[in-house]
């Protein structure tokens, strides 16, 4: 785990430094930019889906879905970040008590 942390940490720093150091034309290709813009969208959406609906190699519907539902409503109401995240945890925890 430590090796992963150090390598991924250094890798993320190199990605930042490359952006500030490389000439614009090297990475400025429209295709590269489009794909790089879409990667966070695709990965974050996939992470939302798998964190909420996956468990032990199968699809699961449990209290986490209620937490996500709360997060969705909170975001629509433009609540702050922390309210969204803590609220989702509280909703899921309460649902498990019932």
Partner 1 sequence: MSSPAAVSETVPDRTERSAIIRDSLAVGVATGAYGFGFGAVSVAAGLSIAQTCALSLLMFTGASQFALVGVVAAGGAPLSGAVTALMLGSRNTLYGLRMAPLLRWRGWRRAAAAHVLIDESTAMSVSRTTTGAARLAFLTTGVSVFVLWNLATLVGAATGEAVGDPRAFGLDAAVGAAFLALLWPRLQDRRNVLVAVLAAALALALVPATAPGVPVLAAGGVALLVGALGRRQDPTEIPGPGDVAGGHR
Site for partner 1 in 62-91 (CB under 8 A): 63-64, 66-68, 70-72, 75, 78, 80-82, 84-91
Q: Are the C-beta atoms of 51 and 62 separated by less than 8 Å? A: no
* Residues contacting partner 1: total by CB under 8 A: 77
CB of 60 to partner 1, least distance (A): 9
CB of 65 to partner 1, least distance (A): 8
Residue 87 pairs in a beta bridge with none
CB of 79 to partner 1, least distance (A): 9
Structure tokens at 51: 């964190």
CA dist 26 → 22, 23, 29, 37 (Å): 7, 6, 7, 16
Residue 44 neighbours by CB distance under 10 Å = 10
Window 3-62: residues binding partner 1 (CB under 8 A): 3-13, 15-22, 24, 27-28, 30-31, 33-54, 56-59
* Residue 2 in the binding site for partner 1 (CB under 8 A): yes
CB of 80 to partner 1, least distance (A): 6
53 by Cβ neighbours in 10 Å (0-12 / 13-18 / 19+) ranks as middle
């Amino acid at each position: 785990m430590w090796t992963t942390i150090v390598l991924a940490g250094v890798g993320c720093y190199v990605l930042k430094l490359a952006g500030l150091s490389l000439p614009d034309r090297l990475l400025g290709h429209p295709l590269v930019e489009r794909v790089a813009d879409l990667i966070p969208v695709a990965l974050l959406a996939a992470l939302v889906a798998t964190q909420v609906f996956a468990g032990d190699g199968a699809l699961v519907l449990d209290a986490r879905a209620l937490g996500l539902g709360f997060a969705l409503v909170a975001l629509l109401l433009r609540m702050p970040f922390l309210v969204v995240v803590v609220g989702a945890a509280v909703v899921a925890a309460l649902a498990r008590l019932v």
